[in-house]
């Protein structure tokens, strides 16, 4: 009979790290388990140029945006997909909880460092809130890249969950450390039924030698 020797993990899971991240995860605002999606009227403004149209969001993979400008439509669809990924219902065990977790108390202003082994990521957590996300990415045919997200502000929802309203993303090369772009996000939300839905999103970034300001404004929300 053939036997298989199971590989032993090189790093032992730290129960304190697991509990720290679990608490922060469960305190993060997400759409409820039976959330079926929403529709709204969207207006996109890019440095003063506006375009409007209807949107429908059911899940991260089911996002529909109808705008006259195809390039702006794709960008808006990507933004809504990203919002749906972050806000969609999921369990701790099927996300970061599936990895080996360790922690370091290094006195950082953003809190405890939590290492997510096997994902090229580490977070920082303070007061049961994820305050920083660091990740390195590599895709076939693409140069490797990395990013750091600093969570700068948020609100407590009616359900006493943390909902981020301001964060900044720094994109850089993990090879030489060169900073490639910075995006500053400011979000607001509207409560419809039991759901906190996107009301506005403003993004300030640096592209092709100039600072670009983009905004998304959602009105007439309807739950599906």
Is residue 131 packed enough to be buried (19+ CB in 10 Å), middle (13-18) or exposed (0-12)?
buried
- The pLDDT of residue 199 is 98
156-161 long-range CB contacts below 8 Å, 24 or more apart?
157/29, 157/191, 157/196, 158/191, 159/29, 161/27, 161/28, 161/29, 161/30
- The pLDDT of residue 100 is 94
CA dihedral 144→120→6→94, nearest 10 degrees, is: -110
Model pTM score:
0.89
How far is Cα 81 from Cα 78, in angstroms, rounded to an integer? 5
- The pLDDT of residue 8 is 46
Q: Is there a contact between 198 and 57 (Cβ–Cβ < 8 Å)?
A: no
| Positions of the chain with pLDDT under 50 | 1-8
- Residues whose CB falls within 8 Å of the CB of residue 139, separated by 6 or more in sequence, listed in order: none
- The pLDDT of residue 212 is 96
């Amino acid at each position: 009979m053939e036997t298989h020797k199971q590989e032993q993990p090189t790093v032992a899971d730290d129960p304190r790290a697991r509990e720290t991240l679990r608490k922060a995860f469960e305190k993060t605002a997400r759409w409820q388990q039976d959330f079926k999606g929403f529709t709204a009227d969207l207006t996109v403004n890019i440095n003063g140029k506006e375009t409007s149209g209807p949107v429908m969001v059911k899940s991260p993979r089911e996002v529909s945006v109808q705008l006259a400008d195809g390039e702006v439509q794709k960008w808006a669809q990507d933004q809504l997909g990203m919002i749906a990924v972050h806000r969609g219902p999921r369990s701790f065990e099927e996300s970061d909880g599936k990895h080996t977790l360790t922690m370091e108390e290094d006195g950082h202003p953003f809190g405890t460092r939590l290492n997510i082994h096997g994902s090229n990521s580490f977070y920082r957590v303070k007061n049961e809130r994820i305050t920083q996300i660091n990740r390195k990415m590599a895709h076939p045919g693409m140069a490797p890249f990395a990013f750091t997200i600093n969570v700068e502000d948020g609100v407590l929802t009616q359900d006493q969950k943390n909902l981020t309203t301001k964060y900044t993303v720094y994109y850089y090369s993990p090879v030489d450390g060169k900073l490639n772009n910075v995006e500053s996000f400011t979000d607001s939300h509207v409560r419809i039924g039991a759901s906190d839905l996107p009301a506005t999103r403003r993004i300030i970034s640096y592209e092709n030698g100039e600072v670009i300001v983009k905004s998304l404004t959602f009105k007439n929300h309807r739950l599906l």
